[in-house]
Structure 1
Amino acid sequence: MSSASEFLLLGLSEQQGKQPLLFSIFLSVYLVTVVGNVVIIMAIGSDPHFHTPMYFFLANFSLNNLYLPSSTVSRVLVNIQAHRHTITYAGCLSQIYFFLWFIGLDVFLLAAMAYDRLVAICHPLLYTLVMSPRCSILLLVMSLILPHSYSLIHTILAHLSFCTDNIIHYFFCEPLPMLKLSCSNTYANRCVLIYSGGTLTILSPLLIIISYVRIVAAIVRIPSAIGKWKAFSTCGSQLSAVCLFYVSAIGVYFISSTADSASKDRIAAVMYAVVTPMLNPSIYILRNKDIKSALGRLLSRRPQSPHS
């Protein structure tokens, strides 16, 4: 049983004068994220030509990009508007649970989409057989279960005792800052965080790397330049989304050495939890001709008059 009933989230800035600006920025980013991902989901759902494994995964990826910022940004907006930067212990655990799940789901959906493109480009004749509806659903279920198991185990282990300090130097609850505050023995928690989390974060990128290495090797062997471009265009937007996710997470943590550790962690959290879900729809809308065409058809539709 925790001695701390609530935690204080310091957010990105402790200066009261900056809170209205932060509220406007977070609200704008959140609205753009919601609109962009909803538009992609509507475009895919409204066109029968998109009822394929590739767009099935993309629709779920966009749906998850709605859930991920909702688990963090919505709380930030409420706290800033209410001038109350606290969160209950139960609320903190819930936020950790959903945040870990949605981040993990993002990673595994990217891996599933990479595998889909691998089969489409390297084994086109077997694509319909391999990427059957049953296989697509199985990949989605695995993408849901694996990160869910990790987030559930870590949330159960996060029932800790907090003696004095209850200040979290983040704008939302994350596992590591909570472990640093606890006066309990956190050895088991850190083992789960390092080994289980490390396995999940290594397994998916490894599958993605293997898939795209084989895809590039297959594209290089295509004799015509037009064929190479056509093959690359089918996975270009997904590869851009993969690069955006991992560059934002890895680059901010390991490349940036000018900022202090706390500031760097905050920037990294904003990048992969807030900015990346906002930019993903732009990648698919700008780089995917089929999505752009579907959006054009969706926007050009006019409601018919009841007297026509």
Structure 2
Amino acid sequence: MNYSEMVVTEFILLGLSNHPVARAILFWIVLVIYLISLMANGLMIISIITDSHLHTPMYFFLSNLSFLDICYTSSSLPQVLVTLTTKRATISFVACMAQIHISLYLGTTECVLLAVMSYDRFVAICSPLHYTVIMSWRVCVQMAIGTWGIGFILTLIPTVIGPKRFCGSNVINHFTCEAQTVSKLICGDTHISDIVSFITGVLALIIPFAFILVTYLRIGQAVWQIRSDQGWSKALSTCSSHLIVVGIFYGSAMSMYLQPKSKYTSDGDKMVSLLYKAVTPMLNPLIYSLRNKDVKQALQKLFGGKQSGY
């Protein structure tokens, strides 16, 4: 059997194989980021569940985001840590495929969830008198289930479009089984699957991002008409945290998945991948907690601190 005809049963992850010092430093950085992300998102979920003042649609979706970020980081960062401890880490074919699809599913779901959260803020600011009717608990649960369902469908479509056969090289120049990098190892005609992947990328990234931009333009118009300084401050503090999260996540994800397909993976691409897989899930709870008085008070209550303002 020729080398080019051999069926791949495992992959080799290079990571930063040629930079041992950088590999060691990055290992500790990623480990700290992962632990902070688990702790911060876990505390966010516990605070929202235990504090009745946070039993509102906004914090319901925020708890979904924190749970999603815990799953998202756990789907890839342990593998990143393993890859950084050795020069040539290996991963089985089945484990690699599972990692790709789970990460894509969770990442796509987060894109849709951020759009849902922007709609919640739009209703809260533009239709405050009808907010409790429009965003009832039944509607919120339906939107949350729909978010996870849409993420599953958008991930499933590229999977079922034609068989993907890997042969020849089994070396992945990345920390994990990153979809964009692994797709370069597919042998045979990938024209149709590339088109389908691009379309699903547009559906998962561009359309939710465009929806968020439209909702915030409408929010901006509503905020502009607010006369009181207190109203301005409340509206801006409510929306600014979400906008920061959206900018970091969508910016890094679109730069990775909507760029022209290249034959090679640069170290820069690897760093961008770590940005939305590791850094963004860590920053999400920190941004929301540091910029939100209700969350800070809930955290103080959770740890038995002094309460004020209720």
Fold-level match, TM-score > 0.5?
yes
Q: Does 1:110 align with 2:114?
A: yes
Q: TM-score, normalised by structure 1?
A: 0.89
Structure 1 residue runs of 4 or more that deviate by more than 6 Å after TM superposition: 251-255
Task: Give the distance between the partners of 1:273 and 1:45, measured in 2 at CA.
Answer: 25
Say if 2:11 and 2:91, in contact at 8 Å, map to a contact too: yes
Task: Give the distance between the partners of 2:162 and 2:31, measured in 1 at CA.
Answer: 30
Aligned partner of 1:235 in structure 2 is: 239
Aligned partner of 1:299 in structure 2 is: 303
User: 288, 291, 303: which is aligned to 2:292?
Assistant: 288
Aligned partner of 2:26 in structure 1 is: 22
User: 125, 130, 133: which is aligned to 1:129?
Assistant: 133
Structure 2 SS opposite 1:193: helix
Cα 1:149–1:12, aligned 2, differ >3 Å: closer, same or farther? farther
Question: What runs of 5+ residues in structure 1 fail to find an aligned partner?
Answer: 303-308
Structure 2 SS opposite 1:300: coil
Aligned partner of 1:64 in structure 2 is: 68
Task: Give the distance between the partners of 2:184 and 2:289, measured in 1 at CA.
Answer: 41
Structure 2 SS opposite 1:165: coil
Task: Give the distance between the partners of 1:77 and 1:225, measured in 2 at CA.
Answer: 48
Cα offset for 1:116? Answer: 0.4
Say if 2:124 and 2:131, in contact at 8 Å, map to a contact too: yes
Say what the alpha-carbon RMSD is for the aligned residues: 2.4
One-letter identity of the residue aligned with 2:69: N
Q: Does 1:10 align with 2:7?
A: no
Task: Give the distance between the partners of 2:103 and 2:258, measured in 1 at CA.
Answer: 22
Aligned partner of 2:282 in structure 1 is: 278
Task: Give the distance between the partners of 2:216 and 2:241, measured in 1 at CA.
Answer: 13
Q: Does 1:142 align with 2:150?
A: no
Aligned partner of 2:44 in structure 1 is: 40
> Which range moves more in the overlay, 233-242 or 41-50?
233-242
Task: Give the distance between the partners of 1:122 and 1:200, measured in 2 at CA.
Answer: 26
Q: Does 1:164 align with 2:173?
A: no
Cα 1:167–1:252, aligned 2, differ >3 Å: closer, same or farther? closer
User: 240, 265, 271: which is aligned to 2:269?
Assistant: 265
Task: Give the distance between the partners of 1:166 and 1:44, measured in 2 at CA.
Answer: 45
Task: Give the distance between the partners of 1:180 and 1:166, measured in 2 at CA.
Answer: 10
Task: Give the distance between the partners of 1:253 and 1:138, measured in 2 at CA.
Answer: 29
User: 188, 192, 201: which is aligned to 2:196?
Assistant: 192
Structure 1 SS opposite 2:176: coil
Structure 2 SS opposite 1:87: strand
Say if 2:15 and 2:83, in contact at 8 Å, map to a contact too: no
User: 216, 221, 240: which is aligned to 2:220?
Assistant: 216
Cα offset for 1:270? Answer: 0.9
Cα 1:153–1:192, aligned 2, differ >3 Å: closer, same or farther? same
Task: Give the distance between the partners of 2:248 and 2:130, measured in 1 at CA.
Answer: 30
Task: Give the distance between the partners of 1:219 and 1:131, measured in 2 at CA.
Answer: 20
Task: Give the distance between the partners of 1:265 and 1:2, measured in 2 at CA.
Answer: 28
Q: Does 1:54 align with 2:94?
A: no
Task: Give the distance between the partners of 2:52 and 2:111, measured in 1 at CA.
Answer: 27
Cα 1:100–1:158, aligned 2, differ >3 Å: closer, same or farther? farther
One-letter identity of the residue aligned with 2:136: S
